[in-house]
Amino acid sequence: MRSFWAGFIWTATVWTIYLIGVGEAAISEGGLLGCVAFFACYFLSDLFRRNSFIYMLLVTGSLLSSLIVSALTYEASADDTAIWFALLMCSYLMWRSFTRLTRAWAIAFCLIGTGSLIILTILVERWPLLPYVATYAAAFLSVSVLYRQAYHAQLESTTRYDALLDEYRQLKRNVKHHEDAARSEERTHIARKIHDSVGHKLTSLLMQLEVFRMQAEGDVQAKADQMKRLAQESLQETRIAVKALQEEEPGGMQALMRLIRNLETENAMQIEFVVRHGALSVSLDNDQSVAVYRAIQEALTNAMRHGSSRKMNILLESPGGSVFRFEVSNETADDEDRAVVSGFGLTAMRDRLEQAGGTLEVYRLRHQFIVRGTFMLQS
């Protein structure tokens, strides 16, 4: 739509200036009728871009309309205005044909335009302009051919690059999908092994302890009660571990976006989320992804509990592609910089990041609390 209005305004302006320049003679000599014919053919041609033959006929009609008007109004125009107008419209239409027609049709149209310009110059008996018009048309045709070759070479290169990029992204998605599927299958396999072996043996041990307890007396019965309780606790912990293995820990951009959305909707928080330097294209392994998610979750929870404002900022960045960094900051009521005393939450956060190969920095500055985590990326 934008290109349509740009073409309409440009052509309408050129025709208006020319018709005003030739004055009242344009009406009597058929200038307005030729203008209507030009615009009719020019804009109808856009409906037949897929049909090169019809498109070329309509563009040729536009070309001939402008040349006929130039020939009819030549006597009324000042100096060589008609020739320059015809040259301008012919150049525009030839360039348009080179961008929308195949090479053979475009060259054919340019030859028609060049021949028409030379014939117009001969008809109006402007012999001094003939060498210039012929030279200009030949140069324009040569430049157009070279431009078309370069344009299509670049277009082919861009298309090939986009295809390779799409294939690369698809391969990355497939690899990620297969990794997730393999990880999930392995976790399920381990959980099933624990459930079938350890869980079964603990259950059997509980039954034997119960039989032993019922037969025992005195201190032996008390010891049997204690052993039974320990076995029950072990079985319960085993079931919890199996359940944790069967559940995938949250991580990645989708889990982070769900966390932000929940905090904003359920706790009326205002979170500004900023991504810089291609952080979304960084490939983190599962442990790093989970560690980032848990660290941001803990930092947001602390900010919600201890911050003086409902506004928080989250920044993800990967400067140079060699480092991945996340930062969570919020406003506080502190009037001066103070040392940070790490509690259980910050200590667990730091340990988790270090286990995943990262580092954690915590700052309490004036009116601001900052949690920053960093991972060095492998090249």
DSSP labels, 308-356: SSSEEEEEEE-GGGTEEEEEEEE----SS-B-----HHHHHHHHHHHHT
pLDDT at 63: 87
> CA-CA distance, 253 to 282, in Å (whole number)?
11
pLDDT for 115 beyond 80: yes
CATH fourth-level superfamily of 252-376 = Histidine kinase-like ATPase, C-terminal domain (3.30.565.10)
Side by side, the strands of the sheet bearing 368-376 are 270-276, 311-317, 323-330, 368-376, 358-365
* Residue ranges of domains in the chain: 2-125, 177-246, 252-376
pLDDT digits (tens, 9 = 90+) for 15-40: 888 887 777 766 676 778 888 888 88
pLDDT digits (tens, 9 = 90+) for 326-335: 888 888 777 7
pLDDT for 1 beyond 60: no
Least confident of 138-152, 155-169, 182-196: 182-196
More confident residue, 374 or 23: 374
pLDDT at 353: 85
> CA-CA distance, 144 to 93, in Å (whole number)?
12
pLDDT for 244 beyond 70: no
In one letter, which amino acid is 82?
A: A
Q: How far apart, in Å, are the Cα atoms of 281 and each of 249, 291, 300, 347?
A: 21, 18, 24, 29
Q: In the predicted model, what is the mean pLDDT of residues 52-66?
A: 86
Q: In the predicted model, what is the mean pLDDT of residues 44-49?
A: 82
| 299 Cβ contact partners less than 8 Å away, ≥ 6 residues apart | 328, 349, 371
pLDDT at 2: 65
**Cα dihedral: 165, 167, 169, 173 (round 10):** 180
pLDDT for 254 beyond 80: no
Bridge-based pairing state of the strands 323-330 and 270-276: unpaired
Confidence of residue 267 (pLDDT cuts 50, 70, 90): low
